[in-house]
Chain A
Amino acid sequence: MTTVRLSDVSKRYGDLTACSDVTLTIEDGEFFVLLGPSGCGKSTTLRMIAGLESVTAGSIYFDDEDVTDEEPAERDVAMVFQNYALYPHKSVYENIAFPLELSRQRVDEAEIEQRVSETAELLQITDQLDKKPKNLSGGQQQRVALGRSIIREPSVFLMDEPLSNLDAKLRIRMRSELKQLHERLGITTIYVTHDQEEAMSLADRIGLLNEGRVQQVGPPREVFERPTNTWVAGFIGNPPMNLLECALDAEGETERSRVPGPGGTREMAGVVRNEAFSYPLDAEAVADVEAANTGSRLLFGVRPMGLTIVEEATDWTIPARVKTVEPTGERTLVTATVGKTEISVETGNEVTDAIKDTTIHLRPEKFYLYDGTGDLLFVSGARADPAVAGGD
């Protein structure tokens, strides 16, 4: 059992910076997912933890031991690769037994045999032990790769997109098996993926990376409900969060200082607006925005599923012109424009093509305010939902 700590870790290849100042703490026994688009440095980070890549600057600690310059073999980690990296000439048995048969381990034959059969049983591949990897299905190969990495009982378990070579159905099944396996073994696991759904379903905590920098670290729900910047807001969620450029007007609109809204009439202290919409803010929101003091340019964010189409325009609605209506089966996706900005709305199936090219009124159930540089200033309703309130 090990806590993994990265302290200001950077990796540069000549002029190219793969990771800069990555600081993360992965707790003992945690299932931690590194999530980001391709080329964001997540695989490089994992490979530095494994010891396969050298670290340009910064340090990596396992518990309190500095392992930055240690060889992979000395770190007691195990890794599952995207292509499984099974030895094609060895049988399944020999593949799983391989780490124990190395001179470093000094395990006798009888114990190897027992541990291989235990591992095979755990992964339900006992009847495949005599086969060669190429005669196995993708899912079975995946299990062999898992078996080979857990047989040594490593202190840290690293996985580099282990499910991405499987077909969609099998991926979902292996996902839940991975989760069960982790719950059973309790080994600290660091898992790299670009698939947010995979990250959401597996992780205890997610670390989001973009362009080599950590964007946000938190439990899946928090990352979804409280994206700390516009990049995270745009990456997590499908379709991504709608962001409307606007400015705060705290003095004007005094006649609207008391507005009946969801949850009764409230004191309104200001309004955000651009040429296409305006939305009143309560005192709390205005105070948060003004406290940050990062200029008047703001981004008004609202998730596609956080928008409701209503009949009547009120002060609390945003007018939008419908461009396309796409039924997807369970839900219907409406694409519309607010001014020049295109937004997505996720609605129920009662919406039909009839609303195309008309103006609809959208009521945000929950909204976010970001400053001009993309940092989160305010989340509506955060007080009511402690899980979302965040640490800051």
Chain B
Amino acid sequence: MSTRSMLGQVYGRTPRVSLPERLRSWKYLFPSVLIFVVFGIVPVLWVLYQSTFVWSAFAGTRRFAELQNYYTIVHSSEHMLALGRTLLFVGAALAIQMPLGLGIALLLNQAFRGRSVVRTLLILPLTIPPVSVGATWLLFAREGTGFVPGVLEFVGIDFSIGQNALHAWTAIMLMDAWHWVPLLALIFLAGLTSVPPSLVESAKIDGANRFEIFWHVTLPELRTVGVVALLIRTMDLFRAYDSLWMLTGGGPGTSTFVLNMDIVRTVLNAANYGLGSALSLFTLYIIVVLSWLMVNTLYQEVLQ
């Protein structure tokens, strides 16, 4: 069901607005529309235009090449591997962070002394810039200076984010979870607060145990906020760059080299603006498609 027809149901009919009235409303909308067009639409179109050129700044050549850059991207193992790592990062991070966020929210929803203090502390990681988060975790995890390798050495594990890809990924996952799980916890906590108490009480009286109450009452009530949280996190994870670059720099080798790093390298280091633009649009395309899929499969189900 479309939003329009839903509104139509709510109001009984789709409101018909006369032409002068519509023109007047445009007058008020104009400033924000203008800003959106100038800063939102125009750059995207500009990038789209650039992506059709094979353009090497060092060589000083610029040649219109239609979709050749996109062809290059899909046929290059280098770029596709970067995409693969990004997808791995997004998928694994979601799989870790969503349940963790929900779990923490459930804990914080219990009544205990100092609950409001803990809730406030929860926001702290969100206030730290990703670069600083990356730097902090680098100090934690780097061999030689880090606290973590020092401790793990004690138990016989040779932890090295500079040499072992699995260790590097572990560090990344922990860092990103530390940084963003609080946001998810806050979103889920807001969702939990809006679950009508009588639903839980009714289930209690009917004889449901704690797990049954969670499964049959709480979890379904959290579906809407869950989908919103999933969307926000997915788009955010695709954009991750600064903290990852700080922590591993894409290494060891290229094992944590994600699509965003690929874009930076292509545009800045190789000064290949056309290909860089194409890569950016390619990333945008993937985000849009994934979000669209999520909205269509999950959100529709929640709304109906």
Contact = CB atoms under 8 A, between A and B. Distances in A.
Interface of A: 50-52, 71-73, 75, 77-79, 81-83, 85, 87-90, 98-99, 102-105, 148, 152
7 contacts: A51-B205, A73-B205, A79-B201, A98-B206, A104-B207, A148-B206, A152-B207
B199 A152 contact: no
B212 A81 contact: no
Interface string B224-259: 000000000000000000000000000000000000
A102 B205 contact: no
Nearest to A160: B198
Contacts of B216: 87, 90, 98
Given A81-B198, A85-B199, A87-B216, A72 B209 contact: no
Contacts of A88: 220-221
Most chain A CB atoms below 10 A, which of B205, B207, B212, B217: B205
B198 A85 contact: yes
B205 A50 contact: yes
A79 B205 contact: yes
A252 to B, nearest CB: 61
B196 A85 contact: yes
Nearest to B223: A89
Contacts of A78: 205-206
A76 to B, nearest CB: 9
Contacts of A79: 201-202, 205
A73 B199 contact: no
B220 A87 contact: yes
Contacts, number: 65
A43 B252 CA distance: 65
A102 B212 contact: yes
A85 B202 contact: yes
Nearest to A82: B198
Nearest to B201: A52
Interface of B: 196, 198-199, 201-209, 212, 216-217, 220-221, 223
Given A85-B202, A104-B207, A152-B206, 4 more contacts: A52-B201, A102-B209, A105-B207, A148-B202
Nearest to A47: B201
B202 A81 contact: yes
Nearest to A158: B205
Q: Report which residue of B202, B208, B217 has the largest number of chain A beta carbons within 10 angstroms of its beta carbon.
A: B202
B196 A83 contact: yes
B202 A103 contact: no
Nearest to B202: A85
Contact of A52 (B196, B204, B221): B204
B200 to A, nearest CB: 9
Contacts of A102: 206-209, 212
B298 to A, nearest CB: 13
A82 to B, nearest CB: 8
Nearest to A75: B205
Contact of A104 (B199, B209, B220, B223): B209
Chain A interface mostly helix, strand, loop or mixed? loop
Contacts of A51: 205
Given A87-B217, A103-B212, A81 B206 contact: no
Contact of B209 (A82, A103, A152): A103
A37 B221 CA distance: 33
A73 B207 contact: yes
B207 A83 contact: no
B199 A52 contact: no
A339 to B, nearest CB: 49
Contacts of A89: 220-221, 223
Contacts of B206: 73, 78, 98-99, 102, 148, 152
Nearest to B220: A89
B208 A73 contact: yes
Nearest to B204: A72
A72 B203 CA distance: 10
Please name the 10 residue pairs, one residue from A and one from B, whose CB atoms are nearest each other, closest first. A99-B206, A85-B198, A85-B202, A89-B220, A73-B207, A104-B207, A81-B198, A72-B205, A72-B204, A79-B205
B213 to A, nearest CB: 10
A88 B202 CA distance: 13
Contacts of A72: 201, 204-205
Contacts of B203: 98
B290 to A, nearest CB: 25
A97 to B, nearest CB: 11
B95 to A, nearest CB: 24
A52 B199 CA distance: 12
A91 B294 CA distance: 24
A191 B201 CA distance: 17
A52 B205 contact: yes
A51 B204 CA distance: 9
Contacts of A152: 206-207
B207 A77 contact: no
A78 B204 CA distance: 10
Contacts of B208: 73, 102, 104
A98 B204 CA distance: 12
Contacts of A104: 207-209
A70 B265 CA distance: 66
Given A73-B208, A98-B206, A99-B207, A83 B220 contact: no
Contacts of B221: 88-89
Contacts of B223: 89
A85 B221 CA distance: 12
A104 B206 CA distance: 9
Which residue of A50, A83, A89, A148 has the most chain B CB atoms within 10 A of its CB atom? A89
